[in-house]
Amino acid sequence: VDFTIEVERALRVLDGGILVLCGVSGVQSQSLTVDRQMKRYNVPRLAFINKLDRQGSNPWKVIEDLRHQLKLNASAVQIPIGLEDKHEGVVDLIEQKTYVFDGEKGENVVEGEIPSELQELVDEKRAELIECLADVDDEIGELFLMEEEPTKEDLKAAIRRQTVACSFVPVFMGSAFKNKGVQKLLDGVLDYLPEPIEKQNFALDRSKDEEPVEVTCKKDDPLLALAFKLEETPFGQLTYMRVYQGMLKKGNQIVNVNDGKKIKLARIVRMHSDEMEDIEEAHAGDVVAMFGIDCRSMDTFSDGNLNLAMSSMFVPDAVMSLAIKPAQTKMQNNFAKALNKFTKEDPTLRVRVDAETKETIISGMGELHLEVYIERMKREYNVEVVSGKPNVNYKETITSKATFDWLHKKQSGGS
């Protein structure tokens, strides 16, 4: 919950996602939060039921949770071969083949035929899959009513259509720790999640009272990109950007739509976890990172020909506040610099000075969230911070009417 904004900003720019669920616990409180975020941005998804090698795992209970708690039209496209310590692999309900994952890290995928003891369950779950698809897809619905068996090509095409339309969620299974089922899940990403051009995205026309305009996602059109994440590195600020249309090219100038500043692109990198690969250009649909760009999180960039801005993300209200001050007065400059930087990169961190107590108050999503920023001030800016509960200015007021009799005696002179 403390870092829910990281999920929020990722889902704002992604074209598809994988909802990972525990095979034992099923839908948990954080699953509900992530589901709400995915629905907010209409992100097509696959579901992956993980930890099927753990004691007490039950994928069918998890699928029921998906249907009843998250109200998703979900159905398994695989069934597990064994559960708990007997979990070996999966049966693909579309290809009707088994995949066993051998080796220390499940790197050897052995394809085989469905064993006779699993055939009845395969037939039952395949029929359930076709039924769930028939509810939302006209072509499969027609075959279902005609009592004809759809081919694997028909099923794959229907799953892709309805996944992209956010009307269906294919459920994959496995154990990520041993890489069991992960290879088939990645095949599912290629088969069922949309390409950038298939996902509808809208920009707001600032000259027409923020009227929505559909983004084309073509590389030859004018540039439109969104800076969705800022990160402080030893080389300076690293800005993560999603290109929605047009292209970014090293050496070209781009314009920040929000403040009109022109910026020259000195370096563009493609991120591979914590490794950077230098690239010359990035096309529509790419997510890249750049150095030397001074901006705020959720700023829109163009090549100067458009007055469009991408919509921002949903930012939840802060739930906790702390009063902070630098341990020594000489640290005041670095203290102010750090707060300015942190509020630029994280919209859920709010900073204000209380008008009555004159304290600097930081507000965020939880205790851990605020502690991380206090620790970062110490590590990155060498500022020791004293933190505590915000002081409250208590005031007295009249709350009710009171009656009294009083004789005022005044002596005018004498003793």
pLDDT tens digits, 309-333 = 888 788 888 888 999 988 888 888 8
The predicted structure's pLDDT at residue 273: 79
Provide the 3-class DSSP secondary structure of residue 251. coil
Confidence of residue 190 (pLDDT cuts 50, 70, 90): very high
Q: Which structure tokens are listed for 371?
A: 């502690």
* Lowest-confidence pick of 57-71, 98-112, 122-136: 98-112
- Tell me what the mean pLDDT of segment 389-403 comes to: 85
The predicted structure's pLDDT at residue 1: 58
The pLDDT of residue 268 is above 60: yes
Closest listed residue to residue 42, CA positions, set 228, 184, 218, 202:
202
Cβ-Cβ contacts under 8 Å for 67 (sequence gap 6 or more) = 73, 74
Residue 287 to residue 228: CA distance in whole angstroms? 10
The predicted structure's pLDDT at residue 168: 92
Residue 114 to residue 136: CA distance in whole angstroms? 29
Query: CA 382, 387, 393, 399: dihedral to nearest 10 degrees?
Result: 150
Q: 263 phi and psi, to 5 degrees?
A: -135, 135
Confidence of residue 291 (pLDDT cuts 50, 70, 90): confident
- Give the sheet arrangement for strand 211-214, strand by strand: 211-214, 202-205, 308-310
Instruction: Please report where in the chains the tokens 């070996």 appear, as a residue.
Output: 88
Instruction: Please report where in the chains the tokens 């630098």 appear, as a residue.
Output: 326
Quick one: how far is CA 384 from the chain centroid? 32
pLDDT digits (tens, 9 = 90+) for 336-370: 988 888 888 888 889 999 888 888 999 988 888 89
pTM here?
0.80
Amino acid at 351: V
Closest listed residue to residue 174, CA positions, set 307, 77, 95, 286:
77
Confidence of residue 415 (pLDDT cuts 50, 70, 90): low
Residue 167 to residue 14: CA distance in whole angstroms? 18
User: Which residues face 372 on adjacent strands?
Assistant: none
- Taking the CB of residue 210, how many other CB atoms lie within 10 A of it? 13
Average pLDDT, the chain: 86
- Tell me what the mean pLDDT of segment 260-271 comes to: 87
Q: Which structure tokens are listed for 123?
A: 């037939």
Strand (E) or helix (H) holding 39? helix 29-40
The predicted structure's pLDDT at residue 414: 62
Confidence of residue 170 (pLDDT cuts 50, 70, 90): very high
- Per DSSP, which regions of 59-173 are E strands? 74-76, 78-81, 89-92, 97-102, 108-112, 169-173
For residue 257, CA distances in Å to 179, 186, 218, 224, 252 come to 44, 37, 20, 10, 16
The predicted structure's pLDDT at residue 399: 84
Contact between 217 and 201 (Cβ < 8 Å): yes
Quick one: how far is CA 82 from the chain centroid? 32
The predicted structure's pLDDT at residue 64: 92
Closest listed residue to residue 80, CA positions, set 182, 179, 174:
174
Confidence of residue 405 (pLDDT cuts 50, 70, 90): confident
The predicted structure's pLDDT at residue 5: 82
- Tell me what the mean pLDDT of segment 3-8 comes to: 82
pLDDT digits (tens, 9 = 90+) for 22-44: 988 888 888 898 899 899 888 99
pLDDT digits (tens, 9 = 90+) for 214-246: 888 888 888 888 988 888 777 778 889 999 888
Residue 43 to residue 52: CA distance in whole angstroms? 26
- Count how many Cα atoms sit within 13 Å of the Cα of residue 69 in the half-sphere of its side chain: 16
Instruction: Please report where in the chains the tokens 């692999």 appear, as a residue.
Output: 89
Strands 17-22 and 45-50: parallel
- Tell me what the mean pLDDT of segment 372-397 comes to: 87
Residue 292 to residue 277: CA distance in whole angstroms? 16
Cα angle 195, 201, 203; round to 5: 145
The predicted structure's pLDDT at residue 2: 62
Residue 415 to residue 288: CA distance in whole angstroms? 94
